[in-house]
């Protein structure tokens, strides 16, 4: 699934993408700016993308203040993922968002077995952090990073730069 920030795209395996976005949504909900309309919109977008596998996540901070709030939430999302570790299928099925008819995160499935492994979720976290900080590794113009596989960062060919 595509994750976009500041006009750059990273593709992620859908289950790791979904789990990370669920953590990000929860971190944003408890952020210092949680009541701001733009944060509420971002939370809704992250929740939707975490339960519906065909949704991209687009993050476009309008100011450095917004970027800071998102970056802090991303750090808290990473910490929550690290504390929890691998997310087994039973936990995925129980992890729902009421606003989306209690659909489970990642449709309650893992693409690689019985769990969405922490290492795969942290690859997605690193991709968002890299986009927010402007520190993504260089890549060819017709390539995008692909993360969340557990095999490290890879590139995929794109038809449109």
Q: Which residue has the tokens 């750059």?
A: 8
Confidence of residue 161 (pLDDT cuts 50, 70, 90): low
State mean pLDDT over 88-92: 93
Instruction: pLDDT band for 13, please (50, 70, 90 cuts).
Output: very high
Residue indicated by tokens 């977008």: 45
Binning pLDDT at 50, 70 and 90, where does residue 92 land?
Answer: very high
Residues, the chain, total? 161
Residues 99, 102: Cα–Cα separation, whole Å: 7
What's this model's pTM, rounded to 2 decimal places? 0.94
**DSSP assignment of the chain:** -EEEETTEEEEE-HHHHHHHHHHHHHHHHTSTTTTSHHHHHHHHHHHHHHHSTT--EEE--SSHHHHHHHHHHHHHHHHHHHHH-SEEHHHHHH-EEGGGTTEEGGGG--SSSSEE-HHHHHHHHHHHHHHHHT-PPP--TTEEEEESSSS--EEEE-S--
**Residue 78 pLDDT level (bands cut at 50, 70, 90):** very high
Q: How confident is the model at residue 1 (pLDDT cuts 50, 70, 90)?
A: confident
Read out DSSP for 45-79?
HHHHHHHSTT--EEE--SSHHHHHHHHHHHHHHHH
């Amino acid at each position: 699934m595509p994750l976009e920030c500041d006009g750059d795209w990273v593709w992620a395996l859908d289950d790791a993408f979904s789990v990370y976005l669920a953590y990000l949504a929860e971190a944003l909900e408890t952020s210092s700016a949680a009541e701001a309309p733009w944060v509420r919109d971002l939370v809704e977008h992250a929740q939707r993308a975490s339960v519906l596998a065909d949704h991209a996540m687009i993050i476009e901070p309008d100011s450095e203040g917004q970027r800071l709030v998102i970056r802090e939430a991303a750090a808290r999302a990473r910490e929550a993922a690290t504390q929890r570790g691998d997310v087994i299928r039973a936990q995925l099925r129980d992890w729902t968002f009421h606003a989306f008819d209690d659909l489970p995160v990642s449709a309650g499935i893992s693409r690689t077995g019985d769990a969405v492994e922490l290492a795969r979720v942290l690859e997605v976290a690193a991709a968002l952090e890299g986009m927010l900080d402007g520190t993504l590794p260089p890549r060819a113009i017709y390539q995008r990073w692909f993360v969340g596989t557990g095999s490290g960062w890879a590139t995929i060919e794109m038809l449109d730069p």
